[in-house]
Amino acid sequence: MQQEFSGLAAWRQAASRHPVWIFACACFVLYLETWYWRYPPRGYEATDVVAIGESAGEPLVNFSRVWDRLFNDDSYMIDVMNHADWPVAGTRETHLRELNSAIRPGLSYAMRGQGLAEIRFTRGTIEYLRPLLRAFTGQLLQQLRTSTAREFEKRRFRAAVGIEVLTRRRIALQNMFQIFDAGRLMEWTFGEPLPNAIPESETSYAGKIASASFVGLAGHLTIDSVHYQETMALQAWSDLIASDPGPIVLAPREPMLLTDPLSPPRLVQPLGMSVYLFIPIACLLICAAGLMLAEGGSTPGRQASDKDAV
Amino acid sequence: MKAASLPAWLSWYLLLMPLGIPLFTYLVPADLCLVVVLVMCLGSRWQEGIPRLPAPADVRWEAALFVAFLGFSLLGVSVFQNSDSYIFDLVSVLWLFTGAWLIQSELKTDALVATGVSWFNRLFLPVLLFNLAGMATHWLGLDEYTGGVFSFRLYLPFRFPILLGAYLITAYPFAVAWRMLSFRKRMAAGIGFLTVVSGIGARSCMLIAVFQVIWIELVIYGKERSLFPRWLKMSLFVAGVLVAGLMLSGEFTLQRSLGTAGVKDLVNDEPRQRQLECATEHLPEWMTGIGLGCFKVVHGEELHNTPVNLLVETGIGGFATAHVALLLIFLPVIRKIRYGTRVEKHRAGILLCVALSLYLLGLFHNLLRNRFVWLVLALAAGMGDRNGQEEAVRDERSDHAGAAPAI
């Protein structure tokens, strides 16, 4: 024990002979601890999960196209920075420099399945992380909603036009072949007179001949297929315009933010705070190495006197 | 000159170093010698009582720098997350440092260094002939008898081709130049060396092997007086190498070594470019590094560049410490090249050639855990040891006064 004590005493004395080095090491520890407190390894990240609007299983907008369009739009991004009260002042050049150095490298997205997009913002420090992501996602959602609504209207118009075209074609074919409307035939009940598709006065001799022949059979088939297409188009139409059924919507028509905008950022590297534990140990080793090197150059006479003092 | 005797463990260690197939875990046969001597050291320490904490003044600068390196390696930001990988690399480096420390502590004089090198040289020729014979069996279509171990890249008696390459690059200058072989023997050894290195299928090894041969012929043997002019001898040598190359020109490994088949040229080396891109991703963390051994866990592959690997894993501090240590170890060697006796100049030149070759090889591979690198460090530390310097000078004086030196 005495020997161990004497060893420690030698170290203590060596430390007292090199106070500047000890002070520098202590400062180094404090600096690193403070630095990692503010900028933990790999920084913080915040994520927002957005459900992209879809209808009848089809996404209404292409998210990557919208992302590329907005992400590369400098005025849009500067607008986002202003909304988030990003701490930058000065000219537009300063804003752009900050945008390209601090914001764009940290922003990214990843598709989770078909209808979900995860937007991630990574930054060295926690400050202004969530406000910027909130502002960005908010603006992005606005754009998505606008695009989605426009696309929805476009699709609804196309579907309506398609149904109208099919209905007209069916009516034209029925008129040509003098065949009952298949829909009205289905409504007919036994014992009642057969429904008339078209008033008797409008029937023609050629039509009667046609309906009783091979041409008539072909007409039947054509009208059936058109009717089928019409039914499918009507079904798609009802899917398209159906309103959202309840609070949990698996595939909402409108883009919506699923995560809470107030959810706190988290560390990118799990257990990243363990660095606080290792910094003092590492610096202790570096400090000890410095003492060894410094003392190694000491004169033998001083070493002997140190040993005597112990 | 009477050969100085080494402890038995060290002689066996140096002799067995070329046998690099691990017996268990990662320990090769030579490591058993270190295990034995470590157990003996610890036993004797135990008998003396509880070991005293050494005073700072008692610790040598090599150990101090190593402690600093360990400190910087621990500063890495991913150490805790990848603790198993960190501990593996830490234990490996500690083991190699302990081995090098024990070796250099025994090599106190130049005569002992020379004896150590002669022990290390003993298996060079057998390894070279073994691989040449293996190549011949492949050339003659006898792969079914050899199990196909010589059919692709040569690696025996190691686990990987690059380990064989590192060994040959370390051993060739010692085996050829240290003993000052005659031109005929040198030419035979050089052609055999280049042939085996071509069978390793590594461009970096091939380039460095060619560099070594040229360095040895032009720098180390540059001032040798002989009957024939140097240009004629060099032309003969080149002709010999070209003949061997022509004979092997159909071999895939030779083409691979020249970078003409199987791999892209070094300037467009995709894996290394990818690794360097991964390394630059950690640029903000170069101040402290990501932690020793953490790169391969984070990116799934090793960084094949030792200095950059040091920079990424141990930060600027670890990188600087390692290079300061290298400089301090080799400064006395360089001083010997300038101010030493003729023998000292010659041997220091060879050591520097090996060190330079390994540093160049380290630019293409991760050699931090390579035994030969640490052996060269130990030899350089032993050769440049101040305590042994006077004794070494005395040895040299007696050599010059008495019988002619071995060179």
- Going by pLDDT thresholds of 50, 70 and 90, the confidence category of residue B403 is very low
Query: Are A125 and A39 in contact, with CB atoms under 8 Å apart?
Result: yes
Domain coordinates of chain B in residue numbers? 62-384
Which of B53, B57, B74 is the closest to A281 by Cβ? Answer: B74
B320 reaches A (C-beta below 8 A): no
First-to-last alpha carbon distance for chain B, in angstroms, is 11
Residuewise pLDDT in 10s, chain A (310 residues): 445 556 788 899 999 999 999 999 999 999 999 988 888 888 899 999 998 877 667 778 888 888 999 999 999 999 999 988 898 888 889 999 999 988 999 999 998 877 889 999 998 888 899 999 999 999 999 989 998 888 888 888 887 888 888 888 777 777 776 655 555 555 555 556 655 555 544 455 555 555 556 666 677 777 778 777 878 877 777 776 666 555 565 667 788 888 888 888 998 887 777 788 899 999 999 999 999 999 885 444 444 444 444 3
Please tell me the distance from the alpha carbon of residue A104 to that of residue A29, in angstroms, as a whole number: 32
Using the Cβ of A267 and the Cβ atoms of chain B, whether some distance falls under 8 Å is answered with: no
pLDDT tens-digit profile of B174-218? Answer: 999 988 888 889 889 999 999 999 999 889 999 999 999 988 888
Q: Is residue B387 scored above 70 in pLDDT?
A: no
pLDDT band at B240 (very low <50, low <70, confident <90, very high): confident
Angle subtended by helix axes B203-215 and B161-173, to nearest 10: 0
Query: Quick one: what percent of chain B has pLDDT higher than 90?
Result: 53
**In whole numbers, what is the pLDDT of chain B averaged over residues?**
87
Residues B98-117 pLDDT 10s: 999 999 999 988 889 999 99
The residues, any chain, with a CB within 8 Å of residue B243's CB and separated by 6 or more, are none
Smallest Cβ–Cβ distance between B75 and the set A282, A288, A291 belongs to A282
Contact in structure between B360 and B354 (CB atoms under 8 Å)? no
Which residue is listed with tokens 């592959």?
Answer: B301
CA–CA gap between residue B43 and residue B47 (Å, rounded): 6
* pLDDT tens figures, B83-94: 889 999 999 999
| Listed residue (B76, B94, B311, B73) closest to A285, CA to CA | B73
Alpha carbons A157 and A282: distance in angstroms, whole number? 69
d(CA A223, CA B349): 98
Furthest C-alpha separation in chain B: 66
Closest by Cβ to A296, choosing from B59, B73, B78: B59
Lowest pLDDT segment from A88-92, B10-14, B361-365: A88-92
Retrieve residue A84's tokens.
């988030």
For residue B78, the chain A residues in CB contact (below 8 A) are 41, 269
Within 8 A of B65 by CB-CB distance, chain A residues are 289, 293
Q: Is the pTM of this model over 0.90?
A: no
pLDDT, position B400: 46
Q: Is B227 exposed, middle or buried (0-12, 13-18, 19+ CB in 10 A)?
A: exposed
* Adjacent-strand bridge partners of A44: A123, A267
Set of chain A residues whose Cβ sits within 8 Å of the Cβ of B60: 296
Cβ pair B56:A288 closer than 8 A: yes
Short-list A102, A223, A233, A242, CA closest to A171? A223
Mutate which of A291, A293, A310 to disrupt the B interface (most B C-beta within 10 Å)? A293
- Please tell me whether residue A49 adopts helix, strand or coil conformation: strand
For residues B337 and B219, the answer to whether their CB atoms sit within 8 Å is no
Which residues of chain B have a CB within 8 Å of the CB of A275? 77, 79-80
Residues of B in contact with A281 (CB under 8 A): 74
d(CA A289, CA A300): 19
**B83 interface with A at CB cutoff 8 Å:** no
Does residue B162 or residue B80 have the better pLDDT?
Answer: B162
* Chain A partners within 8 Å of B328 (Cβ): none
Angstrom distance (rounded) from CA B145 to CA B137: 8
CA-CA distances (angstroms) from residue B335 to B171, B328, B330, B344? 23, 11, 8, 10
Q: What is the pLDDT of residue A156?
A: 80
* CA dist., res. A121 & res. A44, Å (int): 8
Beta carbons of B52 and A294 less than 8 Å apart: no
3-class DSSP assignment, residue A40: coil
CB-nearest partner of B59 from A274, A277, A292: A292
Return the sign of the alpha-carbon dihedral for residues A300, A304, A305, A310: positive
Q: Is B57 on the interface with A (CB under 8 A)?
A: yes
Q: Are A103 and A96 in contact (CB under 8 A)?
A: no
pLDDT of residue B261: 75
The answer to whether residues B216 and B173 touch, using CB atoms and an 8 Å cutoff, is yes
Q: How far is B313 from chain A (nearest CA, A)?
A: 14
Q: Is B60 on the interface with A (CB under 8 A)?
A: yes
pLDDT at B401: 43
CB contact under 8 A, A269 and B74: no
Interface test with A, best of B69, B288, B294, B324 (most A CBs within 10 A): B288
Q: Which two tokens stand for residue B234?
A: 């060099």
Q: Is pLDDT of B378 > 50?
A: yes
Chain centroid offset of residue B6 CA: 21
Cβ distance of A290 and B78 shorter than 8 Å: no
Q: What is the reported pLDDT for A186?
A: 53
SS3 A249: coil
B81–A271 CB contact, under 8 Å: yes
